[in-house]
Chains A and B, each alone.
Chain A
Amino acid sequence: MSVELGHFALILAFCLTLPQAFFGLAGAVYRKPHWIALTRNAVVGHFVLTAVSFACLMHAFYVNDFSVLYVAQNSNSELPTIYRLAATWGAHEGSLLLWLLAQATWTLAVSIFSRSIPDVVTSRVLGVLGLISAGFALFILTTSSPFERLWPAAVDGRDLNPLLQDPGLIIHPPMQYIGYIGMSVPFAFAVAAMLEGKLDSVWARWVRPWTNVAWVFLTCGITLGSWWAYYELGWGGWWFWDAVENASFMPWLVGTALIHSLAVTEKRGLFKSWTLLLSITAFSLSVLGTFLVRSGVVESVHAFASDPGRGLFILTFLGLCAGSALGLYAWRAPLFRTNTGFAPVSRESFLLINNVLLVGATLLILLGTLYPMFLDALNLGKISVGPPYFDIAFLIPMLPMVVLLAPGMHAGWKKADFGRTKGLLLVLLAVSVVAGIALALVAYGWHSVMTVIGFSLAFWVGLSALVDPVSRLRKGHSLSAGVIGMSVAHFGLAVFVLGVATTQSYRQEMDLSLRPGQTAELSGFQFTMTKLSDVKGPNYEATEAEIRITRDGKEIAVLHPQKRIYRVQKNPMTEAGIDSGLTRHLLVSMGEPLGDGSWSLRLQYKPMVRFIWMGAFTMALGGLIAAFDRRYRKRVTADDAVAAADVKTV
């Protein structure tokens, strides 16, 4: 019964998106306050109904209602409760419902936290968001309903894919979706600005915190995904340039460009058209990512088994979103021309280069991701693009970007006069290069010039990020949250670069066979297999090895990697044993029994790999701090100022 309720709530939720879109857009055109109020009510109603619908599906999982097809396919009575609940978004249909819920939450947030924005603008934004929600709700209802019944009901479910039975499932997809769909907010603001034909610094101030928060979620989502793949796939890679990873990375890159371009639009009223274009692109790439995942055109752990009808729907939706927004852009962009200029050496220039390079990196990744699909679609043969291409193609634009980041951070608006900072920067540069060479030689031994460049860049950016707020304080400026956030995010980038450079240069791995009592050595660590035993989990059986790791006779850790066989799906799963120190990970993954009592194992040494995720999370933290800058909460209109004063006197 609850499932029918959920289905019904979803239909009603869809129905409410229509008045939300209509009254939102029309209310802004005809300036009717009660239409705008109606829009806000529709937003609340849509959110409540979507949440009810989602809760109903979750309830079906909780009570093991195997008369529901989706539950029967993705759950099992033996599955631990927490995974039963998370299984709600473990496959295509439910994850789309989560997507819709995320969209409804963003829309509600915009409706609630937009008191500093004129009603007319909010109304347009909510209207555009209503159209997007309508598209996704219709998609679920017509092609991917999770509420279909199975008759006769299954005795038990087919269980959740063992890969997904992990805490990562609880947190990675929601973060990722909230980030993806969060990009619809700057998109909606961009469309609203184009409809109104007005875009100024104030507009940028409205959009910036939303873009930041969406970007923060996207950053966390991607980072969690990388971390999850690292330990759960069991083979110790943190990024595979898989088509679906790329699909999530491209909106992130464009989103990063957008954050920087918005800074120029806010401070100097420049780059307006460019900012609009980035807003449109970031969201379009999010939808493109959905298309890649849902249509089954890519081979990937993420690709859900799916039918072409879904792909066609999303492609049409993408065409409508991007097409109409770009059409509007072509028509309206000339309105946003500005005549103010800036000197060749200025913060504007640095941010322009940053944007060009980020977009360049996105295009190169897009080429590598889509080219094989085009060839395949045109029947010109099956190819794939190897990860080394992405490594090189990504590095080409990113190296100059990271080099220029430090002077860019210290450059002034309009015309940068480095003055005294010039000496400081030169000192920092010299220190960074020396520190980079020293780290490479002393800590790890010579590897390659690229390693030294990587280390030096990490120090260069990290030190500049630390020095920037100090030099601002010295000049007598106070530090806004925006400035602190920028420093923190850039420092995070430095940590990330340090992690990547070290891991990629000095990681070691070895496949070998080992039986109890035997020892192998990797990077100065001795790995001894002390025993093999059978272990029984709630819904799996496993063979567990005990690996004692010592160094110079001193015990470092005892790891228990497992090879699991899940009872329902019979799939073997590798659970790596990881000893995670701050500066290095040691991984042991079990392959298979080799017949004479020994097992094939993969041993890995990953120096500084943790810094990769710590750096990425620090970037996210920086974005979050910047989003809470006080100036974004300031009321902007005279009326509002009066209202605020009134409240104060009361």
Chain B
Amino acid sequence: MTARQRRMLLVGLMVIGVGTAAAFALNAFQENLLYFYSPSDVSAGKAPADRTFRVGGMVTEGSFQRPAGSMEATFILTDFAHNVKVRYSGVLPDLFREGQGIVARGKLAPGGDFVAEEVLAKHDENYMPPDVADTLKKQHQKEAGGQ
């Protein structure tokens, strides 16, 4: 091999290496995109059945249930138009309470319940996740428009 051929081989190998790496990275990117849906989207069947996604809304007053001594909690998440029942097992975040805006990450169970792997609430009593605020605003506009 001449020096030139060797250099071309080196360049070729590098291109293949970078290409493979980029393919892996983009594949990981595709697979880890988490879409956000509102309870209305979920009830309308817009959310995927087999994929992890995020759903955000307010925890409906009086909907939180957990048998004494158990870690299995259920509650209703609402955007004031539609509701989604959420099941979660584990430690809830400090600021989780009824009437609070939260975001849950998880999957839909066959019965239509949302099984959360993670529940997020923000460390600020006035906080509403932007996603939730957005959904509520849209809902509000829709109602105002309907009247």
Contact = CB atoms under 8 A, between A and B. Distances in A.
A300 B29 CA distance: 21
Interface in B92-126: 92, 94-95, 122-126
Given A392-B25, A591-B91, A571 B123 contact: yes
Contacts of A591: 91-92
A59 B86 CA distance: 49
A511 B70 contact: no
B38 to A, nearest CB: 9
Nearest to B90: A511
Nearest to A397: B21
A382 B35 contact: yes
Contacts, number: 100
Nearest to A591: B91
Contacts of B36: 381-384
Contact of B89 (A511, A594, A601): A511
Interface string B30-58: 01111110000000000000001010000
A592 B92 contact: yes
A299 interface: yes
A305 B92 CA distance: 24
Contacts of A389: 28-29, 31-33
A163 B123 contact: yes
A426 interface: no
B42 to A, nearest CB: 14
A513 B71 contact: yes
B124 A305 contact: yes
Contacts of A581: none
A569 B32 CA distance: 36
Contacts of A601: 91
Contacts of B25: 364, 392-393, 396
Contacts of A364: 25
A543 interface: no
Contacts of A388: 28, 31-32
B86 to A, nearest CB: 16
A384 B29 contact: no
Interface residues of A, number: 45
Interface string B1-30: 000000100100000000001001100110
B146 interface: no
Given A299-B130, A384-B54, A367 B29 contact: yes
Interface in A358-397: 360, 364, 367-368, 381-389, 392-393, 396-397
A595 B69 contact: yes
Given A385-B34, A397-B21, A513 B70 contact: yes
Given A571-B94, A571-B95, A594 B69 contact: yes
Nearest to A357: B21
Interface string A479-514: 000000000000000000000000000000001110
A606 to B, nearest CB: 17
A204 to B, nearest CB: 27
B137 to A, nearest CB: 13
Interface of A: 161, 163, 234, 299, 301, 305, 344, 360, 364, 367-368, 381-389, 392-393, 396-397, 511-513, 515, 563, 569-574, 589, 591-592, 594-596, 598, 600-602
Given A234-B94, A397-B21, 20 more contacts: A299-B122, A360-B21, A364-B25, A368-B29, A383-B35, A384-B34, A388-B32, A392-B28, A396-B24, A513-B70, A571-B94, A591-B91, A592-B92, A594-B69, A595-B68, A595-B69, A598-B69, A600-B90, A600-B92, A602-B91
By Cβ-Cβ distance, the 4 closest A-B pairs, closest first, are A591-B91, A389-B32, A595-B68, A382-B36
